[in-house]
Amino acid sequence: MTEEKTTPAEAQEVEATGHFITAGLAGKDVEVVPGGAWRQSTMRKLRAGDIDGFMEDVLSPDSYEVYLELDPTNDEIGEFANAAGEASGEQMGKSSGPSASSRRTRRK
């Protein structure tokens, strides 16, 4: 299971042409939309726990059928999301959040 890494510029080109990249899911290669092209509505499905809806949005139709047949675990879905992000040149990990201000505020 070899996953090709792409640069962010290559990922944008893939997005623009409507192509898919390859990522591993539970031991199978599937075609997925590059992470940078995932719609906010798709991300809301993921955050709401609608994994089937999320996967339907990000996988090619044939790969979605593979996903349904595989019935992957939550851990495998997490690994897939990270693999898809890496393959598309995106960081899919958690955001570090805003940094603390370096300026101290004066107490009154």
Residue 31: helix, strand or coil by DSSP? strand
Q: How confident is the model at residue 54 (pLDDT cuts 50, 70, 90)?
A: very high
Predicted pLDDT of residue 97: 44
Q: What is the pTM of this model?
A: 0.66
State pLDDT tens for residues 1-37.
Answer: 444 555 555 555 544 445 899 999 999 999 999 988 8
Burial zone of 54 (CB within 10 Å; 0-12 exposed, 13-18 middle, 19+ buried): buried
State pLDDT tens for residues 58-104.
Answer: 999 999 999 999 999 999 998 998 888 887 776 555 444 445 555 56
